[in-house]
Chain A
Amino acid sequence: MRILLVEDQMELQHWLAKALRESHLTVECADNGADADALLHTQDYALVILDLTLPKMDGLEVLRRLRARGGARGKTPVLILTARGGLDERVQGLNQGADDYLAKPFELVELEARVKALLRRGMANEALVYRCGELSFDTVTRMFSYYGSPLALTPREHAVLEALITRSGRAVAKEKLFGEVFALDDDANLDAIELYIHRVRKKLESGQPGAAAIATLRGIGYLLQPRDQP
């Protein structure tokens, strides 16, 4: 897949391009806003990584022009990268149609994760597998497997575990989880979610390395993580 990296700081551009190429992406670079705008006029990219502070044309202007062109090309996902990092700018950037926002200095892992997430969005049909230790979830077959064999779950247990694993290591609020497991007309108490968490937790119990575990944060929410993570 071909992506465009717009960054005027040459050293950062060099290293980012190197890192992204290692993720099997074709990376083209531009070091100023005008060049980026010209490239975006004629080329199709799966993603644009755009620095905001650019010579010749500001990043936000490049973004505005891209979105103004419309069509399929105008919908190219854009990840904004900036050293400014102001809250106002963040809002402004997202309002202008940026899909995500990363403040410098970022962790490479974080950038790669965001890039993957944005690319994934562009190809919803392609298979995607979420993993947590030995537990995995295939978005196409919608099946869980644990230590290589299918995990048997009731529909509500399935909904609970799906909601947790698709957050890829982030915690889910209790209320949010409840909303995804129970329909609006279900006559269920917020505490009912505890019951399903408890059942899923039992099914995930395993003495071997690579086990997945659900942590409860009282009053806050739940988090699915590999048990033996450092």
Chain B
Amino acid sequence: MKSAHGNSNVTELLARAQALHHDLRFENVRAWKERNGGLAVGYLPVYVPRELLWAMNVLPVGVVGGGDQVEIIRGDAYYQSYICHLPRSTIELGLNGALDVLDGVLFPATCDVIRNLSGMWMMQFPDKYVHYLDVPQDFDTGVGGAFYRHELLEIAGALEARGARPLTDAALRAAIAAYDANRREIEALYELRRREPWKVPTHELYLVLKAGLVLPVDEHTMMLEDYRRLVIRDDARRPLDQARMLITGSFCEQPPIGLIKTLERAGCYIVDDDLVAVHRWIRGDVASLAPGQPPLDALVEAFLRNGVPSAIRYIDQDKKGRDLVERVRASGAEGVVFCAASFCDPALLDQPMLVGALDAAGIPWTSFKYAENTGQFQVIREQAGTFADSIKLWSGA
């Protein structure tokens, strides 16, 4: 039986998500532009306020590098060997024309590397809209909030000048409602995975989340609803004796899907993560944050108050450690896997403090690094497998 949105089985739905994941020419985005006549603007990890773009009939398009599908030819000339892989594959995609469909790109203040990439983009693609989204590290509404509001209005003005619809309160309210619905549906999937991880393998969830980087938000929400409905009633998905893990550190450069499968085959149920972090960077609904105020205020408040305590926020380290421990407890994880991209300064510089918090709480952990194009997983398989064994056999699991 077909679902309300046209997906009759999980295989078909995942095949669609997989096709979007593999389509580095962004044909889906091209088709949307032809149908709707709007602009498409890319954004780098970790977080941009997609609601603002969507309210102006601009399709936000997540750009997370070339994964394991792009051979780097020119990209290596732009970055030293001690820099992570994502910017070199992103610039490779730009130089080979794959990102021509984008009318501009937003570069959020994730790290120095992404900031520098924004400068390269300005020089390489002078006709495109490029904006380095500087975000406040002061979380007071009157200080950081005012700065952030100014940033958002500057983006809105620039997009309008390039032909986007003018930003209105009504459109922004509708966009916030659409993304709130999307966040709720994602949270429902995460909740289902916490409860019955065998129903929601992370290598599937990962594909469905990645589809949300290129799909219009309403379409993505329907895909999420379909996926949840279909897996709940799939009785062939049965529980195995696996160790429950939380993985953290993968919020920017995304791991190859083979790595996720390797962790799962090695005996791990991933019950919480920070993959494709843009979807879960704001916790809870945005609409309710500034009742009676203009919707832009709610968007600003969401950034200031409800952003996750991630590595890209300059906040008290204890708060990040406490948050990680709370996530471990809430998800019922039995261990933590630090799974960060090689040379990812934000993730790796926070790691010692997070390890301290886990050690103090008696939570076992292991760590390894990857690149988006890692193709050999044997060492990770051994490490994750023995870690899972140690939890199942020698802890209270």
Tell me whether A and B are bound partners. Answer: no
